[in-house]
Amino acid sequence: MALPPKAIQGTVPLTFVAPHQTAPYATDTPAHDAYGRRIDYLRVSLTDRCNLRCVYCVPTPDLPHAPHAALLTNDELLLVVRAAAAAGFRKLRLTGGEPTLRHELVELIRALKAIPGIEQIAMTTNALRLPKLAGPLKAAGLDRVNISIDSLDPVKFRQISRGGSLAEVWAGVHAAAAAGLHPLKLNAVIVRGMNDAEVLQLAALTLEHPWEFRFIEVMPLRGVAGLAEEGVVSSAELLARLAAHFGTLEPCEQKRADPARCYRLPGAQGKLGFISAVTDPFCATCNRMRLTADGRLHLCLLRDHEVDLRAAIRNGASHAEVEQLIRHAVHLKPWGHGLPEGVRPQLRGMAELGG
Ligand code: SAM
């Protein structure tokens, strides 16, 4: 069965690719995509549920969730990650929704870390459950965390997250640091008129702490495109504002596949990262794919192409067949997003994809 060309080129989701089909994918390990990019980083959404409702992420507070039966079970998820590791994936990031809401998370991380080939497991979280979980997660094999913190003002934070407590986030940050989840990275999505007036204070955290603070350009995922189009603040603008206040920022050594461009404030202990997916994309060094909680490989964050692994698994696909599907999906990965051409993702919101 040949793939419909439109599914490869356009934004039509690939709902199912039969495991037995002969495909034009490479069988090398690690897998490279059709453009020669090595793809070895899988971002795994563990749930589409979240205990916050950040305005740039969740369009309405009452967003419906996938039914429990739609989500990959732990056994299905482990099958996917074993197959991905066989295809050369080496790094996992657990995300969501809020990944710490996943049942049996500690046991799941222990099992994921035991998979041959998986070298590093990170997690992106709002930190609310870290006071309880940071120690057990570290002991189970979690290497590090990125924590979302969009404001240092408790009232503003509550507005942005639609009800969250900044004090609880700070408790989670300190629990992560105490548990040794290093290097600790903090993330803020900057939206003009919402929290852009706070960038100096946010950046100043790195003067005293050995953390990396990352400024993320707001992206037009489903449901928040309007807010994102009007609210995006370019990394270039932020850099100029920070330099005007703190003096020249020193560039840090850049890891090739790291989407964040890295700088240091004069005299700072920590670093700053700028993720400019909208105004200065880094598609040429993209090394990642995403697995949704309902078992689809999502090939590019800002496009709608997907390959349905859950259907294959529930139709009895073997480890080897799932690996073949993953290699095929890697081959189909689009070159980059189409924001400048007006392509906007329609299929899923950020809470389903995990950033
Ligand atoms: N609940 C976790 C958290 O709060 O970090 C993980 C899931 S959240 C969807 C993952 C990351 O995506 C967070 O850093 C969040 O700030 C970011 N994010 C959400 N919506 C975004 C958007 N429209 N544009 C850019 N980043 C976004």
Angle of helix 74-86 versus helix 319-332 axis, rounded to 10: 60
H-run or E-run covering 238: helix 235-246
Nearest ligand 1 atom, CA 220? 23
Confidence check: pLDDT of 16 > 70: no
**CB–CB of 162/55 below 8 Å?**
yes
Cα–Cα distance, 183 to 176 (Å, whole number): 10
What is the average pLDDT across 220-231?
96
Nearest to 8 by CA among 285, 249, 300: 300
Q: What is the pTM of this model?
A: 0.94
Task: Answer whether residue 2 is part of any domain.
Answer: no
Atom of ligand 1 nearest to the CA of 355: 12
Is the pLDDT assigned to residue 8 strictly greater than 60?
no
The response to whether residue 228 sits with its C-beta less than 6 Å from ligand 1 reads yes
- What atom in ligand 1 is closest to the CA of residue 277? 25
13 belongs to a structural domain: no
Please indicate whether residue 123, judged by its CB atom, sits closer than 6 Å to ligand 1.
no
Q: Which whole number is the average pLDDT over 58-78?
A: 95
Which residue has its alpha carbon closest to ligand 1 atom 8? 354
Residue 258 lies in a domain: yes
Point out the ligand 1 atom lying closest to the alpha carbon of residue 56.
23
pLDDT at 12: 37
Helix ranges (H only) for 87-223 are: 105-113, 130-140, 154-160, 166-179, 199-208
Whether the per-residue pLDDT at 17 is higher than 80: the answer is no
Residue 301 belongs to what domain range? Answer: 19-353
Residues 221 and 280: beta-carbon distance below 8 Å? no
For ligand 1, mutation pick of 50, 52, 124 (most atoms within 8 Å of CB): 124
Alpha-carbon distance values, 100 to 35, 53, 133 (Å): 35, 15, 8
Residue ID of nearest Cα to ligand 1 atom 11:
355
Does residue 124 have its Cβ closer than 6 Å to ligand 1?
yes
CA dihedral 156, 157, 162, 164 (to 10 degrees): -140
Residue 189 within any structural domain of the chain: yes
- 232 CB near ligand 1 (under 6 Å): no
Mutation test residue for ligand 1: of 148, 186, 196, 282, the one with most atoms within 8 Å of CB: 148
Residue 5 has pLDDT above 70, yes or no: no
- Which ligand 1 atom is at minimum distance from the Cα of 45? 7
Domain count, the chain: 1
Residue 154 has pLDDT above 60, yes or no: yes
User: Lowest-pLDDT range, 111-120, 121-130, 322-331?
Assistant: 322-331
Residue 8 lies in a domain: no
Two structure tokens written together for 290? 């995403």
Q: What is the pLDDT at residue 26?
A: 67
Is the Cβ atom of 224 under 6 angstroms away from ligand 1?
yes
pLDDT at 77: 98
Is 189 near ligand 1, meaning CB less than 6 Å away?
yes
pLDDT tens column, 293-335: 999 999 999 999 999 999 999 999 999 999 999 999 999 999 9
Give the full edge-to-edge strand order of the sheet including 288-291.
250-251, 261-264, 271-275, 212-217, 185-190, 144-148, 120-125, 91-95, 41-45, 288-291, 296-298, 306-308
**Cα gap 229→220, rounded to integer Å:** 7
Residue 4 lies in a domain: no
Nearest C-alpha neighbor of 214 from the set 297, 149, 296? 149
Cα-to-centroid distance, 351 and ligand 1 (Å): 7
129: domain CATH number is: 3.20.20.70
220 lines ligand 1 (CB under 6 A): no
Asked if 106 and 140 touch (Cβ cutoff 8 Å), the reply is yes
Residue 96 amino acid letter? G
- How close is the Cα of 343 to the center of ligand 1, in Å? 20
| DSSP for residue 330 | H
Omega within 30 of 0 (cis) for the link into 30: yes
Asked whether 128 and 52 are in contact (CB, 8 A), the reply is yes
Confidence band of 24 (pLDDT split at 50, 70, 90): low
| DSSP 8-state secondary structure symbol assigned to residue 72 | P
Q: Residue 351: CB within 6 Å of ligand 1?
A: yes
Does residue 225 lie in a domain region?
yes
**Ligand 1 centroid vs 57 CA: distance in angstroms?**
6
**Cα distance between residue 61 and residue 233, in whole Å:** 24
CA 218 to ligand 1: nearest atom: 24
Is 184 within the bounds of a domain?
yes
